Chains A and B, each alone.
Chain A
Amino acid sequence: MSTSSDLGTSRIVKASPPTTSRDAPRIVPGNRTLSGVVWLALYPLVVLAPIVLMLVPPVPTGRSFWVEMSVVLGFVGLTQIGIQFVLIGRFRPLTYPYGLDVVLKYHRQIALVAIAFVLLHPALILIEHPARVVLLDPLGGTYASKLGIASVLALVVLAAVSIWRERLGIGYELWRVTHTALGVSALVLAQLHVSLAGLYVNTPWKQALWIGSSVALVGLVVHLRLVVPWRQRRRPWRVTGVRDEGGGTVNLDIEADGHEGLRFEPGQFAYLKIGDSPWTVEEHPYSIASSAEHTRRLSFGIKALGDFSESVSRVAAGTTVFVDGPHGAFSIDRAQAPGYVLIAGGVGITPMMSFLNTLADRGDPRPVLLIYSTNTEQELAYSDEIESLRERLDLETRFVLAEPPHDWQAEEGTITAELLERLLPKERFVRSFFVCGPPAMMAAVERELLAHDVPRTHVHLEKFALA
């Protein structure tokens, strides 16, 4: 195994970044905290703007409380569904302050809230006036009620397929296409429903605003699926090496072909598309393993979990790769501390490699403790690279194996409270902790760290289940 980045610098000399270009696209300009606060402040205004629009004359005469409640919940639900199209658009200025992973998590949560609102809309209107039950007959009713029912059905199927995708045995690509199609259908059907039934869209200009907004939101999907790939086409990457790191982890090295590469923060991830077409639906997020000081050469740690990941191990050198990123906020650069504790399980070592490589390239003198657990010694990915990094960093490593070989000298079992108690540095109150691994392991480690008086603000978790 070889290390992916140039190791031509000693630990004494302040590392020079040989392949970094000043012209590489910046991650995002501006102050992260400020933009995070601004977006959050704007959010309720955007969400409530359509409701305020409803009060611009001519306004229908107010109806009973439950009818108005039903109507406003329908509108609030619809605007929330519209917002989803913005959230999933991977607009870096928007997601950068929070991290795309958190934005996607929020997307899943708030979408359920939106669906609950949308379901309350017909329920309340029925309770208020039971004669309206005839509207639920898909063969009877009106155009408006039929379109509304169809929209709600699309939403319910969308939610069910997303929540139980694995149990239903639906593949990732099929799910993704279905999810997009159902989402667009739900929005379009709901917009038609509003146009036909909505008392609150009772003037041509209000209709135009609503329809225009819906068209723009559908346009965002077109942007993400057609325009963004078209732009990516001009920024191709080539595979320079594929290496089996053991334990089913494959390291993929790529190099920028004719452009300035990707500026990122160590620990971030990017979406990869492998092959000649940037318009493929086969696109997966992977953590960057290489140093952030090298923008034209990237390495990714890929765990062979699905068909796509397995096929990565068979990719030939020179194959074209398209990169969408960087995304995510799991980064030491966002949590300055006098030292770091990195706790990795399995393929969770990947972002840690980015941290270590970056710190080494920067000649960073701060102490780092790496606790890395896998099942067997063979599954320890990047072990040679970690060994050589020890010479360039103030790095202490602890490998924890569930099934150690007979001559194993280090830790055995899993990461337990007892183990942490023994391994955690004395200055644990000031160091920043980065944890990445299987969900159960991360939950256990987080619990133990908090129990050992590590401040919650110093614990950073990366969950890789994104979709």
Chain B
Amino acid sequence: MRHLYANAVTWALAIGLALFAALFAWARSAQLVIATELDVEPVVVAGVAARVAAGAVVGATPDAGDVERAAFGEQVYIANCRNCHTADGSGRGMYPPVRDLALHLDAEGGRDYLIDLTLHGLHTGEYGAPMPPMPELSDARVAAVLNHTLVAFATNVEAPDPRRLYTPAEVTARRGLALDEREVAATRPPIPSAEALGSVGAGEEPGGAVRRDDAE
């Protein structure tokens, strides 16, 4: 009898765990588990849009909203990015560094490129792991996390002018595109890596820097 009970427990547990896993996966993919950042999201959407429309210099005189926005971007980074790109944005050589991304903003098509690689993924073959597409991030989150990396990981170059930070509306425009991670890598304009740009100096014409593809 004991052996029969043991068999039954094994079956019950195996099936139960599989069902639980499916339930968990469904709840997560349906965004049923509400992270605390969601409370901030509407503020960011409304706040950034309104202030940019008014031509305000975001961040020049920090107000409560700016602090909240910065915290929101950092939250999104901690939850979704930090495990690979690391707390200091260096990637420890195993993952692409996300430092000095401000350099990309100056290159042709670079502005869309940063959004695209976040939404649709990126696979250049240069690093062991492809960047997974993250369409699950809302427009406000993509904008917030890009802004966070642009500002928080500006080590060798200055952080971009606050007026050039991303707005959720920009992300919305790129979201519908049917791009995969190789297309993001292949069809992008020749944007040098932040490293390559850094090596030739921030003062030079960004478009004239070394193509990363050539360097490979």
Contact = CB atoms under 8 A, between A and B. Distances in A.
B128 A142 contact: yes
Contact of B130 (A55, A71, A132): A132
B33 A59 contact: yes
B199 interface: no
A43 B17 CA distance: 12
B141 interface: yes
Contacts of A461: 3
Interface in B8-22: 9-10, 13-14, 16-18, 20-22
A61 B24 contact: no
A181 interface: no
B64 interface: no
A76 B123 contact: no
A141 B29 CA distance: 26
A145 B129 contact: yes
A106 B1 contact: no
A62 B130 contact: no
Contacts of B33: 55, 59, 62
Interface string A170-208: 000000000000000000000000001111011100000
B24 A58 contact: no
Contacts, number: 156
Contact of B14 (A40, A98, A110, A456): A110
Interface residues of B, number: 57
Contact of B35 (A61, A68, A102, A132): A61
Contact of B1 (A64, A113, A456): A456
B105 to A, nearest CB: 24
Interface in B112-134: 121, 123, 125, 127-130, 132-134
Interface of A: 40, 43-44, 47-48, 51, 55, 57-69, 71-73, 76, 80, 98-99, 102, 105-106, 109-110, 113, 117, 129, 131-132, 134-135, 137, 140-145, 196-199, 201-203, 329, 456-457, 459-461, 463
27 contacts: A59-B33, A59-B79, A60-B35, A60-B80, A62-B29, A63-B28, A67-B132, A68-B28, A72-B25, A73-B21, A102-B5, A110-B14, A113-B10, A117-B18, A129-B132, A131-B181, A131-B182, A132-B129, A132-B130, A134-B123, A134-B125, A141-B128, A142-B129, A329-B2, A459-B1, A460-B1, A461-B3
